[in-house]
């Protein structure tokens, strides 16, 4: 296959357009399209292109990643310009700033890859997937981290056998498996090498798919016997109106009426559903919400901002109004967001970024962290492990609380990104967390994607985006731990991959 194509692919007039074309196709591998099968093919084609022109490996990797991340995260412009009102003079270059930074990691991967002089089967079939996974891991952790667009997320769909690796080792193991599949397809389909040598990667592909499929069919966690109805409120409050003073009362009234319309056991409102600091609310508002829920037999969780206990800052929180006592407003159990969004919830390098914030309509851009390992919130007989919006992209940070939970819950406000794919990409991350942690995940969002997700990552029910609605459904409480949870984080996997890299580096000058 390859000899005929290679002759054309390596020509500059085709090489660079193909590189950009393959990268621009990557958004279709993620939600809402879910063409999971496309990612290993794209990654394999990308690797083969670089093999043809190894001199340009680093620049090719950077261009590929810059194009891929720009097309995947185009919604940054929506948040900056359409919602926050930042002029295009600043919004356009800032839209490309994050992809330009993220692209450094694939470039680093191939810079390291070029340092190895090993047989192709090892250099491409082993070293490259390992290095790619290590740099993806670094991308998720350095400078607060941003793991969106990782190869592994493309496989978080029930039809992909590689999704099974999520419960074994988390999203980074899925990324590793996807990279392996892409590079092994390159080796298996190369007609320039003898059939005997192509047989080995074919066997490896079969083993990879079998292991993933088997893990996908294995129940590592189990129902605890409890079943509850849930109601997830979607207020569909336009972001540009959300914090306007004249919209506060209509917004509170809207959610109050929604709470009154459901008799579900557990009712959850989205992130910052009530656009007022908790301590600034009239004393009777929370009491009325609690009473309404209690009259309907519901446990109620509300997304709201609140001042820190010392009054020096504020937090993005979800409060549990179950058993609310009006004479003890400070005794409300709550979870406060710990992993904050840079530029959105706090200002990195404030001496540089503060002038930009003055041009934008972005209230509450200096939150405080809630702290690690916060306890679950008891709602009916469910121990609910909450996370808020952006935190859903960091599986390692959810493990400790999830071990003590029977149900996972995410509250979000994706109205910042309009009708873009951002809400669906985040939904797919929630699917990954459900698979990794072996529990139901429920998502209450302002505009979408509000959904109920099974422990296998399947979307059981989903609300129509950009509508005011209540999504109701059933969940089961789950207990037990997946292998990923027992490992405690992705660090054991990363440690093994680092050891493999060091061993390969020691023998890097061994030629075939």
Active site residues: 271, 337, 389
DSSP 315: E
Distance CA 154, CA 251 (A): 36
Tokens of 164: 């099974």
Residues β-bridged to residue 384:
377, 407
Greatest alpha-carbon span in the chain: 80
Instruction: State phi, psi for 375 to the nearest 5 degrees.
Output: -70, 165
Give the up-direction half-sphere exposure of residue 141: CA atoms within 13 A in the CB hemisphere: 14
Tokens of 176: 């590793």
Q: How far apart, in Å, are the Cα atoms of 30 and each of 27, 134, 155, 325, 347? A: 6, 21, 8, 45, 30
CA R_g for the chain: 24
Q: Following DSSP, what letter does each residue of 324-361 receive, concatenated? A: --TT-GGG--EEE--SPPBTTTB-SSHHHHHHHHTTS-
Cα angle: 86, vertex 422, 395; to 5 degrees: 120
Distance CA 233, CA 469 (A): 6
Residues β-bridged to residue 346:
342
Cα angle: 276, vertex 280, 282; to 5 degrees: 100
335 and 370 Cβ atoms separated by less than 8 Å: yes
Distance CA 151, CA 133 (A): 9
448 and 411 Cβ atoms separated by less than 8 Å: no
Q: Which residues contact 257 (CB under 8 A, 6 or more apart)?
A: none
Helix axes 88-102, 57-72, angle to 10 degrees: 130
Tokens of 479: 């207990």
Q: How far apart, in Å, are the Cα atoms of 504 and each of 126, 205, 500? A: 9, 22, 6
Q: Following DSSP, what letter does each residue of 162-212 receive, concatenated? A: GGGHHHHH-HHHHHHHHHHHHHHHHHHT-TTS-HHHHHHHHHHHHHHHHHH
Q: Is 418 left (phi over 0), alpha (psi -120 to 50) or beta?
A: left
Q: Count CB-CB contacts under 10 A for residue 105.
A: 22
């Amino acid at each position: 296959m390859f000899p005929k194509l290679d002759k054309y692919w390596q020509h500059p007039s085709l090489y660079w357009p193909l590189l950009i074309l393959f990268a621009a196709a990557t958004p279709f591998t993620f939600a809402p399209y879910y063409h999971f099968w496309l990612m290993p093919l794209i990654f394999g084609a990308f690797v083969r292109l670089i093999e043809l022109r190894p001199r340009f490996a680093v620049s090719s990797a950077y261009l590929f990643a810059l194009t891929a991340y720009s097309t995947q995260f185009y919604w940054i412009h929506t948040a900056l310009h359409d919602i926050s009102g930042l002029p295009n003079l600043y919004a356009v270059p800032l839209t490309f700033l994050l992809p330009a930074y993220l692209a450094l990691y694939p470039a680093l991967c191939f810079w390291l890859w070029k340092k190895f002089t090993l047989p192709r089967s090892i250099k491409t079939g082993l070293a490259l997937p390992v290095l790619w996974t290590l740099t993806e891991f670094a991308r998720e952790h350095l400078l607060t981290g941003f793991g969106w667009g990782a190869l592994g997320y493309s496989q978080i769909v029930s039809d992909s056998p590689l999704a099974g690796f999520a419960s074994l080792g988390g999203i980074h193991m899925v990324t590793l498996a996807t990279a392996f599949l892409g590079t092994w397809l390159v080796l298996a389909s190369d007609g320039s090498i003898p059939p005997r040598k192509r047989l080995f990667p074919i066997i490896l592909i079969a083993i990879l798919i079998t292991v993933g499929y088997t893990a996908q069919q294995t129940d590592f966690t189990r129902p605890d016997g409890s079943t509850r109805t849930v109601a997830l409120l979607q207020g569909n409050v336009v972001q540009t109106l959300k914090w306007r003073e004249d919209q506060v009362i209509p917004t509170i009234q809207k959610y109050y009426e929604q709470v009154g319309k459901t008799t579900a056991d557990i009712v959850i409102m989205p992130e910052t559903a009530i656009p007022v600091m908790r301590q600034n609310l009239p004393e009777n508002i929370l009491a009325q919400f609690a009473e309404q829920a209690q009259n309907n037999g519901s446990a109620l969780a509300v997304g709201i901002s609140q001042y820190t206990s010392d009054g020096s800052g504020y937090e993005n929180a979800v409060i549990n109004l179950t058993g609310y006592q009006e004479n003890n407003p400070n005794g409300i159990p709550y979870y406060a967001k710990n992993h904050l969004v840079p530029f959105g919830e706090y200002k990195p390098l404030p001496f540089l970024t503060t002038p930009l914030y003055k041009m934008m309509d972005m209230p509450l851009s200096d939150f405080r962290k809630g702290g690690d390992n916060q306890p679950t919130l008891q709602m009916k007989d469910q121990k609910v492990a909450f996370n808020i919006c952006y935190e859903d992209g960091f599986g390692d940070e959810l493990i400790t609380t999830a071990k003590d939970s029977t149900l996972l819950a995410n509250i979000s406000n994706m109205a910042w990104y309009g009708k873009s794919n951002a809400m669906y990409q985040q939904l797919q991350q929630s699917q990954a967390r459900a698979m990794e942690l072996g529990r139901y995940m429920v998502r209450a969002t302002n505009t979408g994607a509000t959904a109920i997700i099974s422990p296998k990552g399947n979307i059981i029910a989903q609300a129509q985006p950009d509508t005011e609605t209540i999504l109701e459904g059933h969940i089961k409480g789950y207990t037990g731990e997946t292998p990923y949870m027992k490992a405690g984080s992705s660090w054991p996997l990363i440690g093994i991959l680092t050891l493999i890299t060091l061993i390969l580096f020691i023998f890097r000058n061994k030629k075939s």
